[in-house]
Amino acid sequence: MKHILATDIGGTTCKMGVFTPELELLHKWEIQTDTSDEGGRILGNIHQSFQSEGYSPEDTIGVGLGVPGPVDFNNGILNGAINLNWMHRKPIAAEFEALSGMSTMVDNDANVAALGEQFKGAGMGHKDVVMVTLGTGVGGGVVSNSLLIHGHGGAAGEIGHLLVDYDQRFQCNCGKKGCLETVASATGMKNLAMFYHHEHKGTRLDMAIENGTVSAKMIVEAAQEGDALGLRVIDEVAQYIAIALSHISAVTNPKYFIIGGGVSRAGRILTERIEAHYRPITFPPAYENTEIVMAELGNDAGIYGAARLVKQYLT
C-alpha cells in the first residue's frame, strides 16, 4: 500500500504523520525544528525522519506540508516565515521534491488546520466550514465546496484583519487599526484590559496590568471567577468575533465556525457570548443552522489537512 506523508512545520516542533490513501492516520511523531543556519536544515531533517521510518518515493503518493507563513499555493512558494528563520521567498514544494523525490503540496498552517478540521474534526461531513484560530494573532481558513479558498493572491481567510473595531483604538501589526486581531487575540485581550482597567481600580487584574504582568490567561481566569473587568473584556472580545462571523456568514455561509487556538481555551464563557452577539446582527438566512463549535483535532489538525491536500490535488 502506498502512503501519504504529512508535516506541520512549527517554530518549535514539526508534527509528522503517515496516512493511508483513505486518510486514516497510521503513525505520528514529532521532531525538533532546528531553525539554526537560517532554517537551512529544516526540510532535510523532515526528509531524513521520513526516510529513517522507512518511507521512500516508491511507496509514497505525496507529501503535504503546512508552514507558518503566507503561501503562493499554486506554485508551492512560501513568502517568508519569521518563526523558522526563513526570511525570504522560498520555493518549498520544489525544494522538498528535489530532496525527497516525492510530489509535494504546501499550504499555510492555518489553512491546513482548517482543512483538517473540515474533513476529519469538528466540521466532518460538511463542505462549508470556516476555522478561526485565536492565538497570539488571529488566523483563519475558509473551506467552501470542500476546497480551501486561497483567493487570487493567497490572502483569503485573513479574517484577523477584518475591520471590526469601528473606533479603531488599537494599532495592528498590518499597519492599520481596528482589525479583529487587535481586539480578539491574546494581545487584543490585553489591549482591551488596559483600555478599561482605570474603571476597575484595585482588583487583582488591575494590579497585574499596573505592574505589567497581565496575560490573556489571567484575564480568562479572572472572568471565570466573576471579575468585572475580566468579564467585560471577554464580552467585548466575543462581540468583535461575532461581528467578524456575521460578515463571513453573508459571504460564504458556512455550516460551522470552528474556534481554535490558545484563547479558545476560555471555552463556553467565550462561545456562549459569541453566539449571543452573532445572531442579532446577522442576516437570518445566513445564520440559520450555522453552529459555533470548538476545534477537535488539536495539534493533529495540520497533518490531517496537509494529507488531505495531497489526496485532493495529487490523486
| Site residues, its own copies (CB under 8 A) | 70, 126-128, 142, 144-145, 147, 149-159, 161-163, 166, 174-176, 179, 243, 246-255, 281, 283-286, 288-290
Residue number, 56 or 74, with CB nearest to its own copies: 74
Residue number, 98 or 250, with CB nearest to its own copies: 250
Instruction: State CA 125 to chain mean position distance.
Output: 20
Retrieve residue 254's grid coordinates: 458556512
Residue number, 221 or 291, with CB nearest to its own copies: 291
43 Cβ contact partners less than 8 Å away, ≥ 6 residues apart: 92, 95, 96, 99
Residue number, 69 or 91, with CB nearest to its own copies: 69
Q: How far is the CB of 174 from its own copies (least distance, A)?
A: 6
Q: How far is the CB of 149 from its own copies (least distance, A)?
A: 5
Q: How far is the CB of 282 from its own copies (least distance, A)?
A: 8
Retrieve residue 262's grid coordinates: 490558545
Here the contacts of 75-82 (C-beta below 8 Å, separation 24 or greater) are 76/104, 76/105, 76/106, 77/106, 78/106, 81/39
Q: How far is the CB of 276 from its own copies (least distance, A)?
A: 16
Is residue 7 within 8 Å of residue 306, measured between CB atoms?
A: yes
Q: How far is the CB of 80 from its own copies (least distance, A)?
A: 12
Q: How far is the CB of 46 from its own copies (least distance, A)?
A: 27
Residue number, 153 or 226, with CB nearest to its own copies: 153
> What are residue 140's DSSP bridge partners?
132
Is residue 10 within 8 Å of residue 109, measured between CB atoms?
A: yes
Q: How far apart (Å, rounded) are the C-alpha atoms in residues 41 and 134?
A: 30
Residue number, 79 or 85, with CB nearest to its own copies: 79
> Starting from the edge strand earliest in sequence, which strands make up the sheet with 71-72, in order?
71-72, 77-81, 86-90
Strand, coil or helix: what is 98? Answer: helix
Please calculate the CA angle 207-210-216 and round it to the nearest 5 degrees.
75
